[in-house]
Amino acid sequence: MIHIVFQQADVDVLKQAMELDETIKGAVFEIKDEWGVGPLQALETEEGWKVREDWWKSLLAGSPYGENMAGSFDDRKTVEAIKNSLSEDKELQAWIWMGQNQHDVTGYYWLMPQLREFQGRLMILYLNNLPFINEKGQLFYPWGIHEILPKEAVKAKKLARPVTLSEFEVDPDEWKKIADENAMVRILEGGKKIVGKTETFYDSEILKNITGEWQKATRVLTNTLHRMKIKTGDVFVMWRMKQLIQEGKIEAMGDINKNWKEFDVKLAGAKQVENIQPEEATA
């Protein structure tokens, strides 16, 4: 078998699980793009693909990753490698591991139209509203594959089921609908239902973590990522923070176009109160 995941941390968990159970050993392919955000139209063309790649480059400028990261991977090549593996070995199965989040589900939808010819050989493991046991022995509902322990991933193999003929017929149409809508943000609303939102969807989460005191932008970023319920990547969140600065909703001190660590932020219009004694404050 081979395995398909949608996040780097998932790869590590599966490799550790394979050390515990040789029956699930196999190559792991990662679909790397964050399909929950950004332009999706006409990705079957070079022009459409370039629009998405250029969009990522603009967001990555000044990031710790460098803008060239957008061109450092191409999920189309990963799909070709998956298809070649399945074509060369007619007995091979592909197991698609998917957490209950928009990142994995949109990646799954993007993948499905490209694997139609292998109907009957694709298995899916979707952790949809399923409880697992954490390192403290407590039940919890994981957001992503990487949140479960390797030994729990071994147990999860019992959840594997074939992708049905109905799903092969319906899911590619769902992807086309998502791509045609071309919303800048996509979220998961239960099951496999993806709903489009505007690019401002995460702005309130950012603003909740900004005060009238100057803070490092990276601190706000970390706090936002940690506290937000509907997760997205750090690059998108930082891009929105910079957009809010340009809109005048956040004040910045330093150069926002350089390294993320080079500027501080606070709420626009907020005044810092310094050295005020209790008597003065209530006078």
Q: Report pLDDT digits (tens) over 97-144.
A: 999 999 999 999 999 999 999 999 999 999 998 999 999 999 999 999
Average pLDDT, the chain: 92
Mean pLDDT of 63-86: 86
Extract the tokens encoding 253. Answer: 């001190």
Q: Report pLDDT digits (tens) over 237-274.
A: 999 999 999 999 999 999 999 899 999 999 998 765 44
CATH 3.40.1360.10 fits 2-179, yes or no: yes
- Count CB atoms within 10 A of the CB of residue 55: 16
Task: Please say if the pLDDT value at position 50 is more than 50.
Answer: yes
pLDDT on residue 269: 85
pLDDT on residue 280: 41
Task: Please say if the pLDDT value at position 276 is more than 60.
Answer: no
pLDDT on residue 70: 64
pTM score > 0.85 for this model? yes
The band of 212, judged by pLDDT with boundaries at 50, 70 and 90, is: very high
Report the percentage of the chain scoring pLDDT > 70.
94
Tell me which of 3.30.460, 1.10.10, 1.20.1070, 2.20.28 is the CATH number of domain 203-267. Answer: 1.10.10
Q: Three-state SS across the chain?
A: CEEEECCHHHHHHHHHHHHHCHHHCCCEEECCCCCCECCCCCCCCHHHHHHHHHHHHHHHCCCCCCHHHHHCCCHHHHHHHHHHHHHHCCCCCEEEEECCCHHHHHHHHHHHHHHHHHCCCEEEEECCCCCEECCCCCEECCCCHHHCCHHHHHHHHHHCEECCHHHHHHHHHHHHHHHHHCCCEEEECCCCCEEEECCCCCHHHHHHCCCCCCEEHHHHHHHHHHHCCCCCCHHHHHHHHHHHHHCCCEEEEECCCCCHHHEEEEECCCCCCCCCCHHHHHC
Task: Please say if the pLDDT value at position 1 is more than 60.
Answer: yes
pLDDT on residue 258: 87
pLDDT on residue 71: 63
Strand partners, 122: 94
Question: How do the domains of the chain map onto residue ranges?
Answer: 2-179, 203-267
Residue 105 contacts residue 192 (beta carbons within 8 Å): yes
Q: Report pLDDT digits (tens) over 145-195.
A: 999 999 999 999 999 999 999 999 999 999 999 999 999 999 999 899 999
Task: Please say if the pLDDT value at position 17 is more than 60.
Answer: yes
Q: Between 273 and 213, whose confidence is greater?
A: 213
CA distances from 198 to 181, 195, 202 (A): 11, 10, 9
